[in-house]
Amino acid sequence: MSDWQAKIHPQKLPRHVGIIMDGNGRWAALRHLPRNFGHRAGMKTLKEIVICCSELGIETLTVFAFSTENWKRPLTEVNFLMGLLAEYIERELSELKRKNVKISILGDLDHIPSRIQNEIDRAVSETASNQGLVLNIAFNYGARQEIVQAIQAIAAKVAAGEIRAEEINEQMVNEYLFTKGLPDPDLIIRPSGELRLSNFLLWQSAYTEFWFDRVLWPDFSRQDFCRAIVEFQQRHRRFGGL
């Protein structure tokens, strides 16, 4: 057990942690390697952090794997990232099932290659009854797109006369988001030195605590994760009160 893990209060764990897995490309560049080497190294980090969350007893982990803006990257990198998700599922699914992890996908999968969709569907189906950590993989996800789709769905209900406009409230909006049924994130972690959300869980993070660090994602360790949890537990969350 690391020094930081020993300081974690088991009764004050965040229920939901989000991670923006950032810095893979810079990690590779610092080593004069192609960017794909950084993405593959980042996959190993993800495995370690998922295991750590499961062992600590955290309910939900949401990781930002591929954003709607990532389509702007070179096609070779986009294709590699698509394949990397399928590879992660193929390699880790058996262990995730043993650890009682439930896999869920947040995002629009309509334009994802069918081979990748099939792997995703298999992982979601085979872990659907698991009762441990919920691992949300935000893939082809953008928070603004998510909110727009929720508005469109609610507007269609209003137009059909199924609900009245004055009945729309926060609870109703939550029901139309990808995170329906999940608690809002208590903590969002972003390594790599960047200090922004990058279109990640914008609605859900209204009262989220943030933790930023300069370590690049492939170098992010269990020790770093536990340090973030300890610092989170030392904060006083007022949710607008005193």
The whole-model pTM stands at 0.95
Separation of alpha carbons 191 and 216, rounded Å: 6
Separation of alpha carbons 165 and 187, rounded Å: 32
Identity (one letter) of the amino acid at 32? H
| Residue pLDDT, tens place only, 138-193 | 999 999 999 999 999 999 999 999 999 999 999 999 999 999 999 999 999 999 99
Cα dihedral sign, 135-116-65-37: positive
| Residue pLDDT, tens place only, 191-207 | 999 999 999 999 999 99
pLDDT for the residue numbered 236: 87
Output the CA–CA distances (angstroms, integers) from residue 69 to 24, 64, 112, 137, 204, in the order listed: 16, 12, 14, 16, 19
Domains of the chain in start order, with CATH, are 13-142+185-233 (3.40.1180.10)
Separation of alpha carbons 99 and 108, rounded Å: 27
11 pLDDT band, cuts 50/70/90, is very high
Compare 110 and 138 and report the one with higher pLDDT.
138
pLDDT for the residue numbered 239: 78
- List, by residue number, the catalytic residues: 22, 70
pLDDT for the residue numbered 1: 56
Name the phi and psi angles at 105, rounded to 5. -115, 130
